[in-house]
Amino acid sequence: MPDTSADRCPNCFEENQGDPTCPHCGWTVGDRPDSPLYLAPGTPLGDDYVIGRVLGHGGFGITYLGWDSALDTRVAIKEFLPDRLASRGPQPPQVDVYPKQKKLFDDGLARFQEEARILAGFQHYPGIVTVFKFLSANGTGYMVMAFVEGITLGQYLKSKGDKIPWQQALAILTPVMDALRETHGAGLLHRDICPDNIYITHDRQVKLLDFGAARRATEKTLGLNAMLKEGYAPDEQYRSNGQQGAWTDVYGLCATLYRCVTGQLLPPSLDRIRKDGLQPPSTLGVSLPEGHEAALLKGLAVDAQDRWQSIEAMQDAFGIGPPPPPPPPRFWPFWKKMLIVLAVLLLLTGFIGIGIESIPRPAKLTVQANVPEAMVYIDGEKIGLSGIKHEIDAGEHTVRVEKSGYEPVETRVALMAGEEGRILRARLSPRPARLVIASDFPDATVHIDGKAVGSPGIEHTLAAGEYTVRVERPGYEPVETRITLEPGGKRTIRAELIPKKAKLVIRSRQENDMAYINDKEVGPTGRKPHILAHGEYTIRVEKEGFAPFEEWISLAPGEQRELRAKLEPIPEFGSRYKPGRSFRDKLQDGSPGPRMMVIPAGMFRMGSPPEERNRDADEGPQHQVRIPRSFAMGVTEVTFEDYDRFTAATGRELSDDHDWGRGRQPVINVSWSDAVAYAKWLSAQSGQEYRLPTEAEWEYAARAGTTSPYPWGTNETSACAYANSYDVSGEETHHKGWDSLSCDDGWANTAPVGSYPANDFGLFDISGNVWEWTADCWHEDYQGAPTDGTSWGKEDGGDCTRRVARGGSLFGKPWFLRSANRFEVPMDKKAVDLGFRLVRTLKP
């Protein structure tokens, strides 16, 4: 069984003469590991190795400092232990694999062993850490590697203020590029290149670490995936069918170079697909040699095919040649070898003969400090903890005593040869502690030991000791806690303030009314307050014969508010115009007009919240809109059957049906002016007011009381059951080449109106089929938008040469079907996927 000698610490493997507490690392016999997953220091592994302290813990396993008892040297030992597939068993060191994860674990372990085998083939290559051996034990696998000391490139950047010059970054990463040339040549991709996986040793060698995410360039899928690092992982790594190759590592390398010289992280690659927010280094004030910025940006292309396809090609663009071959062996003539050996022997014997009598006996010095576990340095060299007797050469020395959190003490001492029992006492003064109280509310008040000391976020300098901290804010329950501050320490505590309940009274001048809060009936209005959590609410008051009152309010924590609802009598529309009822107006020739549906008055939140997936900035800010009166809207989009009657009566040019059919197909290839002309003709024919809907009316009718992104729910996966959009058959027929639904909605071209289920207001095809014109001029966002449902014209920067279209179409990307999606269209444009539907003003 392997073992360390009794005079070595099993945690750090430094000599400690069997002391139960190591003077070098502070480990004490009996200390438990920091995690139940970790093996305890001193655990034997195989015939030759001993486990020491933990060096690192990642998603695929744990890396330990180890001891090779056969060669008496330190090594690094990596244990395969993905913590989502397995844990340390009830009888350590055995690994216990979760029953349902056995196949994934076995596949991952096989890949781990294959990684070790491949990397062992590069053991003489300077840019890759040497792999000595692979062991199977404890139900898992272990990779034994060379132990190198140094820092990661991420740590190095932090020490340099987060960025370094271009030529220095290129010099550091050149060995990494050379290493990848070799591994790519062996068919192995790294797939996790970032500053934390690039290691700079103390002798300034650069090593590429952690091939735990590596895979063969020919592998298509993995059951055990790497944790992708945003800003360094390209688009293809997020996709199960993404084709990966040398270009995948090219992206990670160039992202690391970009981070080195700009100090900034790249936007996530998935965010760059739709709108690329990458800023070239030159726009950030970073100057690169001619041609290098273009080469860097090519390596960062979103599409893999636009990147450098090999490391060699990228190096050529940066003017970096391949590494030189190793020098040939140097052979010395036999007589020269003998002269060198003879010279060395003469020097050794000469020095030994001279030196025996001249070496003085060392002195023995014990440094005692007023705090435990202080570290002692002699002439800048660490010799161990205070309280231990050390042998020191005679003469004058500088003694320094340090401990974290205390001011160091430094003094000069003169020691005589052979001096015994010398004791030096050092008194360390505690450094002040620093305390930060964090809160989500910067206007809260912080009290320390009863004294108001300001707002959260301020750093307080205090003597070490115990304190009572209290945080207060109007409308919130106060938070109070007792804390202990260590000398020189910095502590941040978070105060989670719990809001007090708000009180809302709803009043009106009418009797026998009914109040609703967020559509929940809460009883008649009156003096009794409603106890509510702070937040946003829609308040509605109804009474038969009166127009409903509806208002959106925001209640602050602890707020007390009275809301007065003004109920006004409504004109008598008659039963024909009750919400939810459809009708058709009679035209002058006696024929019926298009079928219209009565839409009730109400209130809704227009636009999309910032967190909605695939939203655009033009959909915000989200705002409350009141639709004060009922109106009627076309049950379907205007059809060719309806529109052809108009063109026949007015002599207007027939609209091209693109050979998709007329009749009940939605009319297409109509401009905004064509749609307005049809509405005026229909108004004249019916004696009623027909028009294009305002953008607010359209979204209110489309949502039909829903707040989800789509009229049917939260995502596009069910779209084929509800809308005619760009699907499998659409791509097969039209070959647009952009994102499409993975289902088939039954129509490659436009569908006859009413082919899909109606929404909750009874409107068909409100999503998909054809884009629908609205009355509004185009605005870049909703800043200054009307809140009463009216049309938005040229005010506030509106462009009335362009109009808003809504609803998505048979050619639209899936997320165009969202209720909040907007589309700007030149008002004279005609398109095969552009039509309209009308609204009618209701009169008593």
Which pTM was predicted? 0.43
Domains of the chain and any CATH numbers: 44-146 (3.30.200.20), 150-318 (1.10.510.10), 433-498 (2.60.40.1120), 500-570 (2.60.40.1120), 582-841 (3.90.1580.10)
CB neighbours of 274 closer than 8 A, spacing ≥ 6? 614
Please report the pLDDT score of residue 359 as a whole number.
Answer: 37
Pairing between strand 363-369 and 422-426? parallel
Query: Phi, psi at residue 316, to the nearest 5°?
Result: -60, -40
Q: Kindly state the tokens that stand for 675.
A: 């749609």
Query: Which residues belong to the annotated binding site for ATP?
Result: 78
Closest CA to 399 of 391, 409, 389: 409
**Among all chains, which residue has been given the structure tokens 């002309």?**
677
Low-confidence ranges of the chain (pLDDT < 50): 217-225, 326-359
Rounded Cα distance between 265 and 258, Å, is 8
Residue 453 in contact with residue 472, Cβ under 8 Å?
Answer: no
SS (H, E, C) 670-739: CCHHHHHHHHHHHHHHHCCCEECCCHHHHHHHHHCCCCCCECCECCHHHHHHCCECCCHHHHHHHCCCCC
Rounded to an integer, what distance in angstroms lies between the CA atom of residue 608 and that of residue 602? 18
Cα(183)–Cα(440) distance, rounded to whole angstroms?
Answer: 48
Classify residue 271 by burial, with Cβ atoms within 10 Å: 0-12, 13-18, 19+. middle
Nearest-angstrom CA–CA distance, 97 and 88: 9
The Cα 378–Cα 391 span in angstroms is 11
* CA contacts within 13 A on the Cβ side of 158: 7
Q: How far apart are CA 102 and CA 96, in angstroms?
A: 10
- Cα separation, 588 vs 363, in Å, equals 121
Binding site residues, as ranges? 78
Region of 285 please: left (phi>0), alpha (psi -120 to 50) or beta.
left
CA 802 from centre of chain: 36
The reported pLDDT for the residue numbered 215 is 55
Phi, psi of 739, deg, nearest 5: -55, 135
State how far the Cα of 773 lies from the Cα of 693, in Å rounded to an integer: 8
- Report how far apart the first and last C-alpha atoms of the chain are (Å, whole number): 98
Task: Provide the token pair at 765.
Answer: 């095809």
Q: At what angle do helices 246-262 and 166-185 cross, to 10 degrees?
A: 170
H-assigned helices in 283-333: 292-299, 311-318
The residue length of the chain stands at 844
Query: 205 near 179, Cβ under 8 Å?
Result: no
What is the tens place of the pLDDT at every residue in 830-843?
Answer: 999 999 999 999 98
Distance CA 236, CA 743 (A): 22
Render pLDDT for 641-693 as a digit per residue (tens, 0 to 9): 999 999 999 999 999 999 999 999 999 999 999 999 999 999 999 999 999 99
pLDDT, position 1 = 64
Residues in CB range of 840: below 8 A, 6 or more apart: 585, 596, 631, 632, 633, 688, 689, 690, 691
Residue 192 in tokens: 């996790």
Report pLDDT for 822. 97
User: Which 8-state DSSP code applies to residue 279?
Assistant: P
Give residue 573's pLDDT: 57
Which one, of 278, 307, 320, lies nearest residue 173 by Cα?
A: 320
pLDDT in the model for residue 187: 83
* Burial of 817 per CB tally in 10 Å (0-12, 13-18, 19+): buried
